[in-house]
Chains A and B, each alone.
Chain A
């Protein structure tokens, strides 16, 4: 059973008055990630927006153990922490959570992550995908969507983003999931489930960013949901190789309700301003193809 908002535990490990931007999607999700792990965790965090949220020495904004690590090294650091906890007999005390952005995961961090996944290291990796290097001022990453203007793609990025959850799935790890910070209950459920699994668990989380995407901070949740309704972001999980759509994406598929046109989503953010109709049509076709694949896979593997 999916958790409902009223069922979410009334605990808080993320402290108010932290350094994140107003309306930051990470904050919404991090509250539920830490809650799902009941604070019995140690995070590894590379240089990123999350580092800033975590606070500047000597004050921390988060009430859980947290280890800052170098940009490319999140998954290797988590491997080391997991090994160190086993070696010192403390592995049962806490879940190791590696948490990095899209650049830290899919670009500079992918080598360490792939290595850790191949070794099936025992930790949970959560990628908060805000679709560019936001902490350094919105430069493109390998996960920036086509059409998005960044400070290194002034005319809009030409390429589609790499499909990181699929790359992770190809490693044969026990759990891969896709979620969105706009669905805190979905985040909570997936982290709670992953917590009970041994080996490398990977959760990919779409995370709207008001300043980098160019929208009013009040719209973080609305746009996160719109991305799911448009099929740009798909909520699913792959458990021991078996795929299933979850939450809003599952209902979308089940009801066959028409998806929100991609153009409507793109129109909400200044980063897509000036995108040509042909470019939008290309993105729509790309989304349609992917969506059909997800729906077919869901129907096929659900059995």
Chain B
């Protein structure tokens, strides 16, 4: 089982990301997928988390992920603010939206850090809502590239299931750019 924890901010769409990832993972062949928000009255900008589990058999744990194999960080400031790597399993992977390089982030040595300027990808296709670049779908491109757990085809299918028309196109394009911009 792969345990994934999301770190985002209210309004960035971490919960949406987690949902679409579950769908994409199911489409990629995982029989057991769950995605759940951490429940609370969090506001735009406030740190939030979400939990995703992927496995080959149905998942029976519904508690929040506290010892993740992978964390996905929608905004690099959360690494410090939210103590994002807390509880991570040794050798775990950090997928982070940042303009900085992995070495600059100052994370634990045993962690594999993968970066992508997902905000830049969203801005490149004008994926802006309420003045804020929407990184929620684009980061799935980075996730696919970094982890290899899901295919870009399944990401695209899941995005097109969640959005329609030109919104779907923009989200898919942003995810593709983020995929290309992923670095380790």
State whether B131 touches A217 (Cβ < 8 A). Answer: yes
Q: Does A107 contact B (CB under 8 A)?
A: no
Segment among A16-24, A93-101, A123-131, A154-162 that sits at the interface with chain B: A16-24
Q: Does A215 contact B (CB under 8 A)?
A: yes
In the complex the two chains form, what is the Cα distance from A20 to B45 in whole Å? 9
**Max count, chain A CB within 10 A of own CB: residue among B43, B44, B129, B130:** B130
B130 proximity list for chain A (CB < 8 A): 210-211, 214-217, 270
Closest A-chain residue to B40, C-beta based? A56
State whether A20 touches B43 (Cβ < 8 A). Answer: yes
Q: In chain A between 1 and 42, which residues have their CB closer than 8 angstroms to a CB of chain B? A: 19-22
Q: Looking at the complex, which one of A135, A211, A214, A218 makes contact with B44 (CB distance below 8 Å)? A: A211
> Using a Cβ cutoff of 8 Å, how many contacts connect chains A and B?
32
- What is the distance, in angstroms, from A21's C-beta to the closest C-beta of chain B? 4
- What is the distance, in angstroms, from B95's C-beta to the closest C-beta of chain A? 26
Say whether chain B's binding surface is mostly helix, strand, loop, or mixed: loop
Q: Looking at the complex, which one of A22, A52, A211, A215 makes contact with B41 (CB distance below 8 Å)? A: A52
- What is the distance, in angstroms, from B14's C-beta to the closest C-beta of chain A? 15
Closest A-chain residue to B41, C-beta based? A52
Q: In chain B between 112 and 166, which residues have their CB closer than 8 angstroms to a CB of chain A? A: 129-131
Q: Looking at the complex, which one of A52, A215, A216, A270 makes contact with B43 (CB distance below 8 Å)? A: A52
Q: Does B8 contact A (CB under 8 A)?
A: no
Say whether chain A's binding surface is mostly helix, strand, loop, or mixed: loop
Mask of B10-29 contacts with A, CB within 8 angstroms, 1/0: 11000000000000000000
Known contacts A210-B130, A214-B130, A216-B130; A21/B41 CB under 8 A: no
Q: Does B46 contact A (CB under 8 A)?
A: yes
Q: In chain B between 77 and 124, which residues have their CB closer than 8 angstroms to a CB of chain A? A: none
B44 proximity list for chain A (CB < 8 A): 21-22, 210-211
Q: In chain A between 214 and 263, which residues have their CB closer than 8 angstroms to a CB of chain B? A: 214-218
In the complex the two chains form, what is the Cα distance from A210 to B132 in whole Å? 11
A217 proximity list for chain B (CB < 8 A): 130-131
5 interchain pairs (CB within 8 A)? A19-B43, A21-B11, A211-B11, A214-B130, A270-B130
- Identify 17 new A-B residue pairs, CB closer than 8 A, beyond the known A211-B11, A211-B130: A19-B41, A19-B43, A19-B46, A21-B10, A21-B44, A21-B45, A22-B44, A52-B41, A52-B43, A135-B41, A210-B130, A211-B44, A214-B130, A215-B130, A217-B130, A218-B131, A270-B130
Q: Which residues of A contact B (CB under 8 A)?
A: 19-22, 51-52, 56, 135, 210-211, 214-218, 270
Q: Which residues of B contact A (CB under 8 A)?
A: 10-11, 41, 43-46, 129-131
